Amino acid sequence: MGLRPNLLTRRTAGVASTTLALLLSTAAVGVVPAASAFSAAPGEVCVEPADVHSDARMKPGGGAKHEPNELTLAETREREADLAAALRERARFRAGAGATTMAATVTIPVVVHVIQENSTRTGGNIPDSMINSQISVLNQSFSGATGGASTAFSFQLQTINRVTNPSWYPIVQGSSAERSMKNSLRTGGKNTLNIYLGELSDSLLGWATFPTRKLNSMDGVVVLSESLPGGTATNYNQGDTGTHEVGHWLNLYHTFQGGCSGSGDSVSDTAAEASPAYQCPTGRDTCTAPGTDPITNFMDYTYDSCMYQFTAGQASRMLTAWNAYRAA
């Protein structure tokens, strides 16, 4: 597939024109009103899940105690069955309400929580400019401006919430501290993207929860703060960890989910891939099925400089999941 042309130029331009990107995002059809961005939908309540499956992105050689990186075959079958059930449930609801159309364009309100150990940069106190640049990267990536398929989604930053709490720093995936953090900070309904930034445990770059039919307090995305554009995470500091994790939040699996067999990542236009790809491999082809490995896809593990696309199938899957799980 080749590497995207002029990526660094595009990303630099995106950083410099954040205000324009945010203004453009508000012009999309289907903007969520600000008044509803911070309140759950009628009848929608936060519940404590017995088990919340999450997905992660990690550096080469990294490892997490709870291995949030890939679902088992049984877990993916459970998720696919739940998606089908949720779609049927939504269809019955819309029929009863006399509404037959589903959202085709969505602007997602974003709340960013910056978790700090102290007021220094090394203690997690990153500047607002990095966060604004991350929102710009999300809008470029999901619009297809970097070279991939255009999706239905754009992102509008609502607020930046800074919290100094050494007991939450670093953020440890699957810990009681993570649960306490999210119980205390998460805001909005199922349509609101909560992003938690800070230093992370176990060499992880980030993780995210998949959508569920009932809102729970763990819902959201956790991202290494120095992976934002202009950060210090070498090879992973152009904002694509954020894009990757939001993809999971919108119900995408890794491109290497399921390896070479079965339904893989449940998207027909991403070639099968036996295992994660790291760095920027050329001509990697780990499965006998047609197509080389999708190393330029946002849902692989390659360097940010190699990632530039979602496929049309992934765009369709995300919109289907939005209408099933997160639409008002």
Task: Give me the active site residues, please.
Answer: 245
Compute CA 68 distance to the chain's CA centroid, rounded to the nearest angstrom.
14
3-state SS class at 306: helix
* Cα–Cα distance for residue pair 189/36, rounded to 1 Å: 8
Centre a 10 Å sphere on the Cβ of residue 204 and count the other Cβ atoms it contains: 24
Partners of residue 157 on adjacent β-strands = 110
Size (the chain), residues: 328
* Cα–Cα distance for residue pair 208/241, rounded to 1 Å: 11
Angle at 193 between CA 187 and CA 197, to 5 degrees: 85
> What single-letter amino acid sits at 162?
R
Handedness of CA 21, 22, 24, 25 (dihedral sign): positive
In sequence order, which residues have a C-beta less than 8 Å from that of residue 234 and are 6 or more positions away? Answer: none
Centre a 10 Å sphere on the Cβ of residue 308 and count the other Cβ atoms it contains: 25
Helix ranges (H only) for the chain are 7-16, 18-26, 34-37, 73-97, 128-143, 176-185, 240-249, 312-321
